[in-house]
Chains A and B, each alone.
Chain A
């Protein structure tokens, strides 16, 4: 759903960030574990290699990533499918204990644009129950698994108490999504493929990802791309969020990339590091379009 056209701003219009900060960085991680199509259709249980590749996410990558975020004093948002919270409650409680935000990401990473409205509601209700039961948290954020959603999804999210989404790609600032019959719009904090680690570093055969089994990118070139994206965000006073996956970019060799990227960001002047929900609250309070 695009931002309504009367709300568009020009690239030149500066965005105000808290405390006079120059730009906003909302680090966000999708903790998918082994969820996704193969879990939904059950084929993952005939594919232990694929299951274990996904499970590495929560089992090994997450604890090391939390250590890194703690060392660097950085807040983050973790979008977590309910199945992952149910399966590894202790691992997920560590996210909350470290002061990070946890938010919705489906139950089994369902593609919302393929679900009926009733099924979307069921996924949201089940997820809320799981987050409450296992983590004692009622999330206010949502990132659509696969990114795409159905015409009624925004309405369903609002009903479920969701304040913001981080699902779309089409801007480098947050924007508002009006919901018919509701006074409060949904805040969208869009991500970018350039800052999705899948686009550079993910690899899996059977099922193939990328579909053509393109090469794993050079780590040095990947870091350089990410650094340049941040530099542009900083130069233009925008809001950067990441679509990083611990099983992809928090592996031993790649944590070093994240470490360097975070150090680079922290060395810049006037960066507001925030959880996504703080960005959403700021955007609403400021009356931004």
Chain B
């Protein structure tokens, strides 16, 4: 009776779901519940920030093609809040049919503790393993070979810069020349900052925050917080060099010391008080939103000193869902090349699906707001392919948060590099068991 056969142990769950569906709709006459492909069902998608599905009209498109399915989106602005709620629901119930997972959480989600809560997407119908960036696929795969999430986007980094401020400070403003200023070395980026600051217009800074710089250095390092399955933050090459450069940048006074994503940071975009920000592809949407129409055409985009990944997410289907098969089908469809390309063109999220890069409108994409002449699509897809995957672990997100906060201690609370380092280690000791 059903095209989607379920494992036996979920039979009870399915019948319970059928009863619930009957009670909820009060009009179902088929009685076959969620296994009936034509039964009217609602799929809820839990995500955070800007996934772009609604913006690109993908939910509407899917609902049109599947008249029996209604899609609702539960979206949270801050990923931190989203993850907190998700953790609570993992033990308490109330999960959405599809739950997005951010890359910093994926190591925890694939750990033995949590991976059982999600279904194996590699077995979902129509999924093409080879289409996804190999390291992205690997990140969502557990030790025993189950893949719990499909990559939606990756966060290859570039540097977005204000060409008007660069020109005012006597620096080149063409993307190729700007990329050459710091090609291959983050230290050159800080050095450019010194040059900028020496002749900068009054009240402007070279970068928004040193945490962005720290993040850029660590994310483009092969060694981050883990080494061979063990915590290695104290002597990790990536953490050490990121910390050192961030401290230098603070010392040199080239950062404005804003906290990323906070209101003052957002306001600073429209006040034009800083000249560069480390910008993964998804950040383009924020830059346009916060800088406002008054600053159109003033931003441009250059290659980062080294290719790194900041952010990017996965779609996972919780095993406890009422409509697992339908939810998997939706997740597969949403992460297919055509859909990822549409999302990219709408909100700038770089596809995790390599096949999307070959589609027209991705590699040759230019952003009408940010440097209309900059080869935006090319910059990001080159960076995406050049990313060296680094080992991560369950506490990656916590550690990265603690160290980024440590950088903030240097630039906002005027602590010395050593004081801030000690405070960060203390914080890690207290929050990582």
**Are these two chains actual partners, yes or no?**
no
Chain A interfacial positions (CB closer than 8 Å to B): none
